[in-house]
A and B are shown apart, each in its own frame.
Chain A
Amino acid sequence: MKNFFSSRWGIIVTGAVIGSIAVTLQQLGNPANMGICVACFERDIAGALGFHRADVVQYIRPEIPAFVLGSFIISLFTKEYQPRAGSSTIIRFFLGVFAMIGALVFLGCPWRALLRLSGGDWNALTGIAGLITGISAGVLFLKNGFSLGRNYKLKKGAGWIFPAFMVALLVMLLFKFRVSDTGPLFFSAKGPGSQYTPVLISLAAGLIIGAIAQRSRFCTMGSLRDIILARDFHLASGILAMVVFATALNLVYGQFNPGFDGQPVAHTAHLWNFAGMALSGLSFALAGGCPGRQLILSGEGDSDSAVFVVGMIVGAGVSHNFLLASSSAGPGAFGPAAVIIGIVFCLIIGITMREKVN
């Protein structure tokens, strides 16, 4: 069976659908310029579980489990479900931690960077410039033989664990599970965490996106990397379609507000928007995928990607507990220091994890 979604038109359709669904989810209740944000939504989940106590960003976002499950289900049907693991696990974990730290200094993953741009938030531009810089550094390492090593195939039974964890999150959400009156799950009463689309709509949207992203291999980091590495614009046509459709629908919905100041869940500290995304971009490039892509790979049975996702969730807890995450006022007290530590970490990994080049 020929895979339509792996064609040029397939990736364009995928980008258009993701862009359209994202701004529609915003219209239906998700936070502004945050119809979909993998980093922010994982951070909200970390908050709901009590891994951090920032009370404005706590909610079990059903989109995240739905991405994983959409990918899991479609890959079972198409026989691409293949459990695998064993490629520098602890490094991938910490790449996930630092990717999240960088994303929460900027306030968004690459998907949200594009959605912020589509909503007229020009601060996204410095973030995207940082992303390109980070990915370029990653490509340099790749060209010089950077490798986290091979993975190994596992038995079919090894790949359901992460999807099952996602189901557990959904079950806890549906029953609004609480340990006690004071304890998790936590659900924000105000702020972005209190703004959400009805659960079943989010779930359906996430399953659709998970499935088509799996078929098309949609990846924001990959699209920029492939341009730099190979002058290959295949994936880039997908993100272009995403921005075009998201911008058009934002105009239709009246959600397009151009400018730098007063943008929702954003700040104007350009240097740290740039540096935060540079750290994230480098982490994604070394780990081989943007946060969305890592969720999709987790659904296909890739344990290494699942570990990266767990690293991001832990990183969200670290970011808020240690005052690294930004707010609309600007970077957190220790955010800039953490970004520098993260970049040093990534450079060490990039330099030391090299295979001999013949």
Chain B
Amino acid sequence: MAERIDARGLSCPQPVVLTQKAIKSGLPEFEVLVDSEVSRENVTRCLENNKMIVETSSEGDTYVIVAKKN
């Protein structure tokens, strides 16, 4: 199972900082959990700027953002 980063309830820009750390650590695939539309947009933009493939689904209040290396 891919590494999970739980960024729910964290205010801007911490979800992005955690996402950046995951990208830098070279993980081929990981999931980021966020619970606001703003965080979903910010994390998605950060991943796309880093040329990752992004897939998002929602589970209740939580967005699950799956990131894969291109």
In the bound complex, CA of A6 to CA of B41 (Å): 8
The reply on A148 being an interface residue by CB < 8 A is: yes
Task: Flag if B9 contacts A151 (CB, 8 Å).
Answer: yes
A interface with B by C-beta (< 8 Å): 3, 6, 80, 82, 84, 87, 142-143, 147-148, 150-153, 217, 222, 225-226, 229-232, 234, 288-289, 304, 357
Q: Are B13 and A225 closer than 8 Å at their CB atoms?
A: yes
Which of B9, B11, B46 meets A230, CB within 8 Å?
Answer: B46
Question: Contact between B17 and A229 (Cβ–Cβ < 8 Å)?
Answer: yes
Contact check, A289 vs B12: say whether CB atoms are below 8 A apart: yes
What does the 1/0 interface line of B11-34 toward A look like (CB < 8 Å)? 111101100110000000000000
Contact across chains for A226 and B11 when beta carbons are under 8 A apart:
no
Task: Flag if A87 contacts B11 (CB, 8 Å).
Answer: yes
Residues of chain B from 23 to 67 with CB closer than 8 A to chain A in the complex: 35-38, 41, 45-46, 49, 61
Q: Are A288 and B9 in contact (CB under 8 A)?
A: no
Q: Is B8 on the interface with A (CB-CB < 8 A)?
A: yes
Q: Which of B17, B46, B61 contacts A232 (CB 8 A)?
A: B46
Note all chain A residues with C-beta closer than 8 A to B11. Answer: 87, 148, 151, 288, 304
Interface residues of B (CB under 8 A from A): 8-14, 16-17, 20-21, 35-38, 41, 45-46, 49, 61
Which chain B positions have C-beta within 8 A of A147? 10, 14
Q: Tell me if B41 and A222 are in contact (CB < 8 A).
A: no
A residues within 8 A CB of B46?
230, 232
Q: Among B17, B36, B41, B49, which residue has the most Cβ atoms of chain A within 10 A?
A: B17
* Chain A residues whose C-beta falls within 8 Å of the C-beta of B8 in the assembled complex: 150
Bound-complex Cα distance A138 to B17 (A): 12
Q: Please report the C-alpha to C-alpha distance between residue A36 and residue B25 in the assembled complex, in whole angstroms.
A: 43
CB pair A229–B9 under 8 Å, yes or no, is no
Known: A82-B36, A150-B8. A288 touches B45 (CB 8 A): no
> Which residues from A are CB-within-8-Å of B12?
222, 288-289
Query: Nearest Cβ in chain B — how far from A281, in angstroms?
Result: 14
CB-nearest residue of chain B to A88: B11
Cβ-defined contact, A230 with B16, below 8 A = yes
Is the beta-carbon distance between B38 and A229 smaller than 8 angstroms?
no
7 contacts between A and B (CB under 8 A): A82-B36, A151-B9, A222-B12, A229-B17, A230-B20, A230-B46, A231-B49
Query: What residue of chain A has the Cβ atom nearest to residue B14's Cβ?
Result: A147
Q: How far is the CA of A143 from the CA of B16 in the complex (A)?
A: 10
Hey, which chain B residues are within 8 Å of A143, CB to CB?
17
Of the residues B16, B37, B45, B61, contact of A229 by C-beta under 8 Å = B16
When the two chains form the complex, which single residue of A153, A222, A225 contacts B61, counting CB atoms closer than 8 Å? Answer: A153
Contact of A87 with B16 in the complex, beta carbons under 8 Å: no
In this complex, what residue of B is CB-closest to A289? B12
Compute how far the CA of A80 lies from the CA of B41 in the bound complex, rounded to whole angstroms. Answer: 13
Residues of A within 8 Å of B20, CB to CB, are 229-230
What's the Cα separation between A357 and B20 when bound, in Å?
13
